[in-house]
Chains A and B, each alone.
Chain A
Amino acid sequence: MRSFKGQVAIVGVGETAVGKVPGRSALWFNAEATRLALEDAGIDKSQVDGLVTAPSFVAPFPRMSVAVSEYLGIQPTFSNTLNVSGATAAASVNVAAAAIHAGLADTVVVCCGDNMLSGLTRDLAVKALIESRDPQYEAPFGLLVATTFALTAQRHMAEYGTTPEQLARVAVVTRGHALKKPGAHMTAPITVEDVLASKLITTPYHMLDCALVSDGGAAFVLTAAERARDLRKKPVYLLGGGESYTQEHIFCAESITTTGAAISSRRAYAMAGVGPGDIDVAGIYDCFTGTVIMMLEDLGFCKKGEGGPFVEAGQITHGGRIPINTHGGMLSYAHPGLPGGFFHIVEMVRQLRGEAGERQVAGAELTLCHSLGGGFATNATIILGTEANG
């Protein structure tokens, strides 16, 4: 099988201020994150010949990637506005790497920014989300995107005995991580009791089981591995990538408790030649607490049905089997819409560079980032490492 294993590296990362950042445009969040990522890489914008981004909810430019490159004053020869919902984060790394490996571009910026909090009212944001459901078969029944995910959690609880306390524990652990991440949107510690006492949104999910609505942008710079070695920062190599698109409608899913993440991660592991037991730290798309529990299983970190007890046993933080979302994730760091999953990748790059400060997982050499969307309609996994040969 063809493979880009070790051929492409992330050489720069950047992120804007996150949380409530009023007055800025969606384009600015993209451009500012890109500027910071180029500075981090020590690369001039004139060397960027590819740009991949995702659409903005707030500023629906029909060609967002072209609008962003114009804002930055660059004229790339490869451009793609990618939207596979929440999976766009890891999927856009795959697309950028494929373009570099195929010779379509040498240096590709992957960026994503939006101002879901300041640019959209909360009601409009939620409305935008509901309108993303099928207008004939889903939306008439008042199906929030959150409800799609809630259906999977409810079934997981019934099949495997996962408890509301175990769901809540995910929010508590990642909030603890956010407290160590400067600039996080959420800065107050929470307890399991706080989560369970927060307002019900769509059962079994309470407010604190759900990701935030934030402003923010993130960007990475990718280039060929042979070029990466001469740049300012320690390269982080892309070792594997995999994706899976199993259905559009939740009612067409064969299973709602085993997802396409099992397929996308299997492909990524196979390309990288590693397994879940080799991964030191992970970034897992955490739109909801139960999502994380199901992903821990589908990504192979624990057996199917054991995600709840795994979390309860302290396995997803420092000292546990697989520390995840050390920046706080979308539950506590930031979730500006499609950019939400991009921050996990920024954080995992920092972990592999040893730049994560008091959040650092000692000796981290191999990481997995998984992003997903649309009630598990879309799944994308990447595996990154400190060595090109994994």
Chain B
Amino acid sequence: MSGQKPLPRIDDDTRAYWAGLARGELLLQHCRDCGHVQFYQRAMCGRCLSASLEHRPASGRGTIYSFSTVHRPPSPEFKDDVPYTVVLVELAEGPRMISALVETPPETVRIGQPVEIVYDRVSPEITFPRFRRADAAKAG
């Protein structure tokens, strides 16, 4: 990865999320009132609006719900990265998230493949949650 990528601006809604990633945990919010599990991080439950939310580490496992391999970089900072594969991951806990695959040749990617999280530390504050195929060894 090269160049100055867009870095997230952390705010009160997301501080705990980025702190979790920095120590190697993907946090999901669990609503203590209705049980809803949500991604992304909010100060209230997206289902019942309760503010009583608890951060719990996710398993870091999921499956590829969809993907697209980017050949034309969205901005010069991504020029050295193409082709890279953006994935819509369905986490084992239910929510989906956008990420990018690492260590995975684009031509081997299929919907439904199991993936696991890789913590990509880019600064003391920011660690990006990326994914790799969990069955990569078997797939060769």
Contact = CB atoms under 8 A, between A and B. Distances in A.
A-B complex is real: yes
B134 interface: no
Cβ-closest 3 pairs across A and B: A150-B68, A136-B8, A130-B74
Contact of A256 (B14, B66, B74): B66
B65 A135 contact: no
A214 B90 CA distance: 36
B86 A142 contact: yes
Interface stretch (A63-71, A197-205, A237-245, A267-275): A197-205
Nearest to B90: A251
Contacts of A304: none
Interface of B: 5-10, 14, 39-40, 65-76, 78, 81, 83-84, 86, 88, 95-100, 106, 111-112, 128, 130
Nearest to A126: B74
A143 B70 CA distance: 8
A250 B86 CA distance: 12
Contact of A127 (B7, B67, B75, B112): B75
Contacts of B96: 251-252
Given A158-B111, A249-B40, A251-B39, A138 B98 contact: yes
Given A137-B97, A256-B66, A251 B75 contact: no
Interface residues of A, number: 36
Contact of B86 (A123, A126, A143, A201): A143
Contact of A135 (B8, B72, B83): B8
B70 A144 contact: yes
Given A126-B75, A142-B86, A201-B71, 17 more contacts: A126-B74, A129-B74, A130-B75, A135-B6, A135-B8, A136-B9, A136-B40, A141-B86, A141-B130, A142-B5, A142-B73, A143-B98, A144-B72, A147-B68, A155-B66, A199-B71, A256-B88
A163 B90 CA distance: 24
Contacts of B9: 135-136
19 contacts: A123-B76, A130-B75, A136-B10, A139-B6, A140-B6, A142-B5, A143-B74, A143-B98, A144-B74, A147-B74, A154-B66, A158-B111, A201-B71, A203-B68, A203-B106, A249-B40, A249-B98, A251-B96, A252-B40
Nearest to B75: A127
A201 B72 contact: yes
Contacts of B67: 151, 154, 203
B71 A142 contact: no
B98 A250 contact: yes
Contacts of B106: 203
Nearest to A154: B66
Nearest to B65: A155
A130 B9 CA distance: 16
Contacts of B84: 142
A203 B66 contact: no
B68 A151 contact: yes
Given A136-B40, A151-B67, A141 B98 contact: yes
Nearest to B84: A142
Given A136-B8, A137-B98, A141-B100, A199 B66 contact: no
A237 B44 CA distance: 44
Contacts of A205: 68
A136 B97 CA distance: 11
Nearest to A251: B96
Interface in A114-147: 123, 126-127, 129-131, 134-144, 147
A158 B65 CA distance: 10
A251 B111 contact: no
Contacts of A131: 6
A152 interface: yes
A89 B101 CA distance: 36
B6 to A, nearest CB: 5
Given A130-B74, A158-B111, A140 B66 contact: no
A250 B88 CA distance: 9
A305 B39 CA distance: 29
Interface in A250-274: 250-252, 256
